[in-house]
Chains A and B, each alone.
Chain A
Amino acid sequence: MDKTKGIMIGFAVLALLLLVFGTKKIKSIKGQIKEQTEKFEKLDERLNYLKNLEQSLERRRMEGQVLSRIPRVKDPVANKVLMEKFFKLLLSRMGFEAEVRVEKERASKDFPAVIGVNEVSLMIGVKRYTSYNQIMSMFDEFGSFPFGIEIFAIGGREIPVPGHLKFKLKYYIIPEGS
């Protein structure tokens, strides 16, 4: 084979290899850039959400729109008893005769883990109530505590507690100092 042809073929092969590997490398970096851009966009979106949330929460704090909390102790069993008693007392003060069941405290999945909010599920069965206004005032009272209503039922068997008016609630335990 002609030497010149040999050289040209050699360099052509080298150039081809370079082209193949170079293109592969470029594609790989472009892929990484695309992936990172998407991640970055998500992060940026999250950051904006957090900024807005922080602003709104700061405003809320300034306006003094805060929730009351049920007193707590260090012992979890005592806490459970304390919560049951507190609820019964609250409901009896509003004129309800009710059955209260308190479940175990656990980490809440309704809020980001970083905040460290725990939750206690509660089931309330009101045996007797007198008026619509009485129920409404109960909803208002629930609103002044970190309660989230999960199920509200009149009759039915959805909530396994005795009573006509039944609630399944979540009480959110917010870390001290916040």
Chain B
Amino acid sequence: MLLCMDFSGEKVNILCVENQKNNLRPISTTAVASFERGVVESLELNVSDLGAYLRSKSGKVKETRVSASLENTFHKILIMPDMKSKMLKQALETEVIKAFGNDYQFKHQDLGEVPGPGNKVNKKIMTIGIKRNRLEELSQMFAGSRIKPNIFTAYPVALQTLLEKMGLLSEEHLAFVEIAHPRSRIVIFKGKEIRVTRELSLADKEKDTQISALAKDIYRTLLFYTESFPNQQVAKLVIAGNSTTSEILEDLGQKTGAEIIPFVPESIEGMKEIPYIHPGCLGLALVKPAGFEFGFVPFSIQEKRKTKKTLALSSSVFLVVLLVFALIISRLSFDLKDLNAFQAGTKGEIKLREDRLKELALEFVSQSLEISQPPWSVILLELSAVVPSGVTLKSFTLKKVRKGWQGQVEGVAVGDDEITSLLMVEETEKNFNQSPIFTGVKLTKKELVGIKAEFKIIYQLKI
């Protein structure tokens, strides 16, 4: 259900319509309807009753549109030089603040190009603003209910949409007059331009039986328009409102000389047999949200939306980061698990092999000994080869150490004199060094005892 509410008068005008696909269809209307009446209605409420009404509609309303009163809005057409959108926005802001102060939230619409001085082309910009405080007040009226307005706009904007749908909006000057008690409203349009808006008092019937005062006020407004826009005259007057009488229509026709068009909603496609419907509400109902340029959002709601957006964005980013970490960690954990499983499998296989090795212990020992034992016959033969004649070995040792085999020989060289003996020792050392099976040969002792030379050589086995 679509709920349209107009706050332009003292009372709140309400229109509930069913949104059936694209076909908008008000079902029934009454001046004052009871809350129990049901699904769709058109009514007028005191502001104090609004809370209860909204609560009664809670859950049924899908979309809500609201229009504000004339006294809290402005409408101005500005002629601006052609510039980039950002700069234009700033320039418009300056102009609006200059004209109306800083209390308004405003929107603009490009109405096309107009010739400027010289060859320059200017732009005609329609600006519409609503007082920030009023927007907040309107928004606050819905605070206690679940219904949150989707569109806030100005009363003339809703009327403009209505007239457009009725086929009345053209380049001709047209005034829409809503005659209501205690205040009436007049809005003058020229095409898409909202040129003049004014509120007029409607005197009590008892005091002004001919209702001539209101007709005079309307006439004066039209004269003011002609003065403000020279050579431009309102040709049509659309009259609406539940206080409209045939006397007023006749009087206005006579005074203004304009064509009087009574507001007949039946002329809109899909609306038949409707005795009365508030034009502002109907205009709101006819607004197409897509591409609608004069929808306002109160600052507090903007803040809430911003907060929600930030919350959604931040939590999404956080969740994405969390997800990425979770994926990486779970992937790595799986890898670790797999590795542990492989390791356990390998350990099991090793255990099996070791058990098998127990059965082959004899072969194992046999093979190990075969590998670790040096070729003793080769060593003894080599030993006899490296010892020159005249040299006697007193001892020979070969010992198994961690990195192989290590040994030492002690001997004595007996030459004709000391020098010969020493030379024989050197020859022995040289022979050890040149041997293919000895390595790391070191002469650690060389001592003359008379003409004999005692020596000690340490060595390692090269196998």
Binding site for B on A (CB under 8 A): 3-4, 7-8, 10-12, 14-15, 18-19, 22, 25-26, 29-30, 32-33, 36-37, 39-40, 43-44, 46-47, 50-51, 53-54, 56-58, 60-61, 65-67, 110-112, 114-117, 132, 135-136, 139, 143, 146-156, 158, 172, 174-175, 177-178
A51 contacts which of B353, B365, B396 (Cβ < 8 Å)? Answer: B353
Contacts of B372 in A (CB 8 A): 148
Whether B310 pairs with A66 at a CB distance below 8 angstroms is no
Contacts of A136 in B (CB 8 A): 376-377, 380
Binding site for A on B (CB under 8 A): 303, 306-307, 310-311, 314-315, 317-318, 321-322, 325, 328-329, 332-333, 335-336, 339-340, 342-343, 346-347, 349-350, 353-369, 372-373, 376-377, 380, 393-400, 410
Contacts of B346 in A (CB 8 A): 40, 43-44, 47
Whether A4 pairs with B307 at a CB distance below 8 angstroms is yes
Interface SS of chain A: helix
In the complex the two chains form, what is the Cα distance from A66 to B346 in whole Å?
Answer: 30
Contacts of A174 in B (CB 8 A): 361-362, 365
Interface SS of chain B: helix
Whether A60 pairs with B363 at a CB distance below 8 angstroms is yes
A-B contact count (CB 8 A): 183
B409 to chain A, nearest CB (A): 9
Question: Quick one: given A36-B343, A135-B380, are A156 and B395 in contact (CB under 8 Å)?
Answer: yes
B350 contacts which of A50, A61, A135, A151 (Cβ < 8 Å)? Answer: A50
B406 to chain A, nearest CB (A): 10
Contacts of A117 in B (CB 8 A): 361, 365
Whether A18 pairs with B321 at a CB distance below 8 angstroms is yes
Whether A47 pairs with B353 at a CB distance below 8 angstroms is yes
Task: Name 27 A/B residue pairs within 8 A (Cβ), A-sorted.
Answer: A8-B310, A25-B329, A26-B325, A26-B332, A33-B335, A40-B339, A44-B346, A47-B349, A50-B354, A51-B353, A61-B360, A61-B363, A67-B362, A112-B357, A114-B357, A148-B373, A149-B373, A150-B399, A152-B399, A153-B395, A153-B397, A154-B395, A155-B395, A156-B396, A158-B399, A174-B361, A175-B358
Closest to A148 in B: B369
In the complex the two chains form, what is the Cα distance from A116 to B307 in whole Å?
Answer: 75
Question: Quick one: given A60-B366, A115-B364, A139-B376, are A32 and B336 in contact (CB under 8 Å)?
Answer: yes
Whether A7 pairs with B314 at a CB distance below 8 angstroms is yes
Contacts of B373 in A (CB 8 A): 143, 148-149
